[in-house]
């Protein structure tokens, strides 16, 4: 698809922009969501991108990157030489073409082939043009040549290829969840989640914000999980919304909002948010405190804390202060000083794969051995900051026990001064009695998060 901009008559080719982003991710190691957002913002500013085109571009980029393993496997059926012998840019043109052929039913096969050949003419030479043409037309004519592994005999390989996930992760989930639930989870990870935002309740009520958003072209509904959450199904480019500029909301997933509710901060208290940047939870905490008290938001990276400060300023939340600190040392800096401490540790992020198309290909199983050491060190140090009678909340956006229940169980074993509460009772809407809360995208419909709430007894 190429399109003409009504303002300046310039033409933008979605496939070419998609190829640029995919190359940046594949060759330069860029993050897909950031590289795509940069292109979208640039083209939105120049008026070259409308909503429909933005969706097509996003689908091309996210789909091709997510389906990387399957596209390479499919390509092997139609190539006479190994894929890794082909230059990266031509390889990416082939992947983009295969994605349209096999997974975008609305794109006619002829368009997928012809447009890929045009890209090869621009970025390759006569030989690579011939290659792209031959491979894609062959695939379009003979799609049945690639047969997925039998799901009963090779369930890991089947699920990994069918739903675009690494084998090691599928194996892990299959062993723990069983076939049906594992398949559901993998499927859910491939759906584009709606955008969820949090009403800045210090400035506006949720109903009033919903009405204002409707006027700005946003199709949204109240979150079923939190009293201030809003789920947006259709929306123009975020930067164009005046309600965002006016600090009426913050982008934040519903699971992440639940962490603030489980911490349950009160106006006037001193709260430490130990791994606080870019401030999604710190700003929520300050809102829950009606902007009264003190929120110390620390992080190891000053450039990330700068984003926390920008967010706090835009939202008008003046009680947040930031400090660059290593959370493994926090206990000696603020011993027994805080009413409540939130420890939202760095984690593998396996609960939020649906948000970032490239993230599943950046993870490895070894992370699940390394991260718990850091998570335990951060939790143990930050626990010392909690006053007797105070609250300690640990959270992650992962689904894996090594980073979640195992960290908490071993912490409780070595810290008898802390007691685990029935964390589920603090969920604002969906009352549950779980000691530790594990949320799943395929079961709960929100990001996969883990939350545990503890009290300091003495």
Beta strands 195-199; 249-251: pairing state = antiparallel
Per-position b or e across 3-36, b if 16+ CB within 10 A of its CB: bebeeeeeebbbbbbbbebbbbbbeeebebbebb
CA distance 167 to 69: 10
Instruction: Find the helix packing angle between 155-162 and 68-76, rounded to 10°.
Output: 100
299 in a labelled binding site:
yes
Q: Would you count residue 251 as binding ligand SAM (CB under 6 A)?
A: no
- 397 catalytically annotated: yes
In the stretch 31-70, what mask flags binding to ligand SAM with x, by CB under 6 A? ----------------------------------------
The least CB distance from residue 329 to ligand SAM, in Å, is: 8
Beta strands 338-344; 418-420: pairing state = unpaired
Select 104 or 300, whichever has its Cβ closest to ligand SAM.
Answer: 300
Instruction: Sort residue 279 into left (φ over 0), alpha (ψ -120 to 50) or beta.
Output: left
Q: Would you count residue 310 as binding ligand SAM (CB under 6 A)?
A: no
Out of 279, 390, 441, 448, point to the residue binding ligand SAM (CB under 6 A).
279
Q: Would you count residue 83 as binding ligand SAM (CB under 6 A)?
A: no
Q: Would you count residue 120 as binding ligand SAM (CB under 6 A)?
A: no
Closest CA to 315 of 283, 292, 281, 290: 283
Site for ligand SAM in 313-352 (CB under 6 A): 326-328, 344, 346
Non-local (6+) Cβ contacts of 277 within 8 A are 297, 299, 301, 304, 305, 307, 308, 322
Instruction: Give, for 110, the enclosing helix (H) or strand (E).
Output: helix 109-123
C-beta of residue 291 within 8 angstroms of C-beta of residue 203: no
Out of 79, 159, 277, 353, point to the residue binding ligand SAM (CB under 6 A).
277
344 in a labelled binding site:
yes
Query: Distance of CA 268 to CAs 53, 285, 308, Å?
Result: 48, 12, 21
Q: Which of 232, 275, 382, 397 is flagged as catalytic? A: 397
Q: Would you count residue 114 as binding ligand SAM (CB under 6 A)?
A: no
Q: Would you count residue 383 as binding ligand SAM (CB under 6 A)?
A: no
The region of 25-33, 46-54, 300-308, 442-450 touching ligand SAM under the rule CB under 6 A is 300-308
Q: Would you count residue 280 as binding ligand SAM (CB under 6 A)?
A: yes
Q: Would you count residue 254 as binding ligand SAM (CB under 6 A)?
A: no
What is the binding site for ligand SAM (CB under 6 A)?
256, 275-281, 299-301, 304, 326-328, 344, 346, 378
Q: Give catalytic residue positions.
A: 397
């Amino acid at each position: 698809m190429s399109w003409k901009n009504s303002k300046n008559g310039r033409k933008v080719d979605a496939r070419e922009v998609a190829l640029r982003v995919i190359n940046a991710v594949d060759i330069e190691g860029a993050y897909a969501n950031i590289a795509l957002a940069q292109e979208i913002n640039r083209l939105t500013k120049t008026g070259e991108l409308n909503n429909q085109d933005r969706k097509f571009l996003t689908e091309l980029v996210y789909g091709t990157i997510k389906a990387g393993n399957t596209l390479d496997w499919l390509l092997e059926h139609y190539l006479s030489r190994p894929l890794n012998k082909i230059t990266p840019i031509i390889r990416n043109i082939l992947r983009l073409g295969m994605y349209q052929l096999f997974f975008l039913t609305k794109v006619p096969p002829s368009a997928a082939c012809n447009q890929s050949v045009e890209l090869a003419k621009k970025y390759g030479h006569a030989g690579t043009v011939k290659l792209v043409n031959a491979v894609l037309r062959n695939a379009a004519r003979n799609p049945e040549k690639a047969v997925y592994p039998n799901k009963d005999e090779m369930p890991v390989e089947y699920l990994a290829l069918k739903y675009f996930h690494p084998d090691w992760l599928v194996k892990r989930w299959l062993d723990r969840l069983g076939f049906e639930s594992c398949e559901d989870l993998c499927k859910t990870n491939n759906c584009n989640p709606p955008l969820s935002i949090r009403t800045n309740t210090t400035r506006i009520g949720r109903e009033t914000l919903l009405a204002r958003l409707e006027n700005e072209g946003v199709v949204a509904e109240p979150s079923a999980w939190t009293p201030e959450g809003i789920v947006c199904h259709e929306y123009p480019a975020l930067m164009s919304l005046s309600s965002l500029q006016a600090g009426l909301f913050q982008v934040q997933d519903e699971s992440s909002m639940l962490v603030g509710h489980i911490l349950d901060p009160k106006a006037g208290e001193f709260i430490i948010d130990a791994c606080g940047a870019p401030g999604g939870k710190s700003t929520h905490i300050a809102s829950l405190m009606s902007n009264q008290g003190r929120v110390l938001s620390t992080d190891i990276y000053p450039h990330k804390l700068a984003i926390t400060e920008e967010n706090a300023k835009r939202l008008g939340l003046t009680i947040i202060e930031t400090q660059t600190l290593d959370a493994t040392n926090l206990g000696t800096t603020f011993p027994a000083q805080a009413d409540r401490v939130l420890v939202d540790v760095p984690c593998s992020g396996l609960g939020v794969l649906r948000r970032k198309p490239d993230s599943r290909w950046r993870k490895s199983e070894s992370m699940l051995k390394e991260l718990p050491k850091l998570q335990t060190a951060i939790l143990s140090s930050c626990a010392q900051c909690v006053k007797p009678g105070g609250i300690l909340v640990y959270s992650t956006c992962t689904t894996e026990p090594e980073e979640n229940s195992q960290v908490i169980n071993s912490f409780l074993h070595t810290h008898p001064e802390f007691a685990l509460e029935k964390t589920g009772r603090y969920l604002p809407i969906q009352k549950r009695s779980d000691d530790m809360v594990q949320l799943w995208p395929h079961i709960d419909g929100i990001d996969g998060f883990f939350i545990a709430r503890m009290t300091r007894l003495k």
